[in-house]
Amino acid sequence: MQRRILGVLSAALLALTTLTAMASVSYAATPRVKAADFSGIVALSNCSGSVVRTPNSADSDPAMVLTNGHCLETGMPPAGQVITNRASSRTFTLLNSSGGNLGTLRATSVLYGTMTDTDAALYKLSSTYAQIQQQYNTRALEMVLQRPASGGTLHVVSGYWKRIYTCQLNGFAYRVREAEWTWKDSLRYTSQCNVIGGTSGSPAIDGASGKVIGVNNTINESGGRCTLNNPCEVDEQGTVTVRRQIGYAQQTYTLANCIAPGTTLDFNRSGCTAPRG
């Protein structure tokens, strides 16, 4: 089986694949859309990502990089596996606002990673937020702590391809199923976010607030039904719907609420509903 969920192939194959990867904050009636750029965005060897923090993160805390669980350097975790606090020395290329290379960031651990119920990974870095700000004059993107509302503009910002997609949040999929994996309450894009391989792990950024509401992970490539590179939606009654060339992101507030002081995991924090394995 070829593992092409946005971002696990070589650069040559990524150029040919289309699988991108894989309580509400209210929008104003006529929200002003913030222009998106590459500030806080990183490129991985096979995927995209972003330097992120929560509203409660301290400048002295180790910084985090958000990407997909299927982008982990050890490969795609099987359904049911949750990885926490595993040593890692992975590197990330930090971009400036126009997409130029600023420098290299290095992980100390995989703070969290899974493809169960969501498709997300957080790396803890060797640098603090203050150190990144001082050295590169770049701030982290902030993750929301509440479920977003449907209908707003969002940006999917890929550090791998240095490309920005803009579309609307077209509701939520009760379940998205792809091969052996199932993801809950996924963000559904309108067709303008026709993401491709290598965009996996890109932040889905709310156009009104500039905050991260999800992590881009997949698209139905060719109209297949619930297979690798062809995710399907499953509703509460078990009805399967296939939306060809429609992409999805996984919400991140469920994981953001698990981050405690010092960039540590605390599954007992209020609002933390990320899978524990």
Q: Indicate if 41-141+255-263 has the same CATH topology as 11-25+32-37+144-253.
A: yes
The ranges assigned to domains in the chain are 11-25+32-37+144-253, 41-141+255-263
Q: CATH number of the domain at 11-25+32-37+144-253, please? A: 2.40.10.10
pLDDT at res. 24:
40
Query: Which letter, b or e, does each residue of 242-270 get, where b requires 16 or more Cβ atoms within 10 Å of its Cβ?
Result: ebeebbbbbbbbbbbbbbbeebebeeeee
Q: What is the CATH number of domain 41-141+255-263?
A: 2.40.10
pLDDT attached to residue 34: 74
Is-contact 122 66, C-beta < 8 A? yes
pLDDT per residue rounded down to tens, the chain (277 residues): 234 455 544 333 333 333 443 334 444 444 577 789 999 999 999 999 999 999 999 999 999 999 999 999 999 999 999 999 999 999 999 999 999 999 999 999 999 999 999 999 999 999 999 999 999 999 999 999 999 999 999 999 999 999 999 999 999 999 999 999 999 999 999 999 999 999 999 999 999 999 999 999 999 999 999 999 999 999 999 999 999 999 999 999 999 999 999 999 999 999 999 999 7
